[in-house]
Each structure stands twice: as C-alpha cells, then as structure tokens.
Amino acid sequence: MTTQELIEKTGLRPLSKFENRNVEGVYISDMVSDVMAGAKSGNLWLTVQTHKSIVPAANLVDVAAIIITGGKQVPVETVELASKYNIAILSSDLPTFQLVGKLYEFGIGAK
C-alpha cells in the first residue's frame, strides 16, 4: 500500500507535501532516540510528538510517513519542515491503539 492509498482508505489527514511511498510496517514511539534505533525504512511512525525534530529523525531512518495520533496539534514549523523533506505528516483524531487496530485490518502489520 502506498501513502496515498493509506490516506484514501483510512481518512488520515495529510498536513504536509510528501513523496508517495510504499508503506512497510509500523513503528510506535514518542522518543526520537527510540525511532533512530529501531524504526525501519518504509515504516509508518505513529507518535504524539510534534516537535520539528521528528522530521529529521524520520528522514534519518527513512520512514514513509509520520502519523500524529490523538488529534494532537502539529506546529506549523513541523509541517513546513516535513514539506521541505517531502515526508508525509498525517493526522488522526484516533488514539494510537485504535489507529493501530485499523491499520492492522488493512494488512499493515509490524515488519
């Protein structure tokens, strides 16, 4: 599934400009150090962290998209930086647990 297909199927709201990527697996963490140590290329990164440093961290490990859960507000500078890096920031009002269930139903499991 690609990022664009994911958006269409799940109703996630794209906040940034992004490169359409194949999505492979999910990584859940609110710590950039944990993401840098454990996330994989193509992962969807689910987090409630919205500080702009999530963008270069996501880029470093080449995640396909960052999903901000729980309806958290994303600062403009985070979105702008993500657009510059062409990394999708998607927003969901669902809590992380519920969103994971939904993604799993679509066949996006942990890699």
Partner 1 sequence: MSDCQHQWDMANIQFGFVVFEKCFHCNCVRTYFTREGVGIIGDEYREDDHFWQRVENAQSFRFDLRCSGCGALEPFDDMMGLFYCTSCQPECRVEKLRKQLEAKRTYLVLACGFLREIAPIPGRISRRKLEELSRYFNQRRDTTRSRIEVAAFDLETGFAQCQGEFLHDVGMLSPEPVTDRKSPF
Whether 82 and 66 have beta carbons less than 8 Å apart is answered as: yes
From the list 5, 8, 19, 93, which residue makes contact with partner 1 (rule: CB under 8 A)?
Answer: 19
Query: In 48-95, which residue ranges form alpha helices assigned H by DSSP?
Result: 54-61, 76-85
Is residue 60 within the footprint of partner 1 (CB under 8 A)? yes
Query: Min. distance of Cβ 14 from partner 1 in angstroms?
Result: 19
Is residue 98 within the footprint of partner 1 (CB under 8 A)? no
Q: Is 82 exposed, middle or buried (0-12, 13-18, 19+ CB in 10 A)?
A: buried
Query: Min. distance of Cβ 53 from partner 1 in angstroms?
Result: 6
Whether 65 and 44 have beta carbons less than 8 Å apart is answered as: yes
Q: Which residues are at the interface with partner 1 (CB under 8 A)?
A: 19, 30-34, 36-37, 40-41, 48-53, 56-57, 59-62, 72, 75, 85
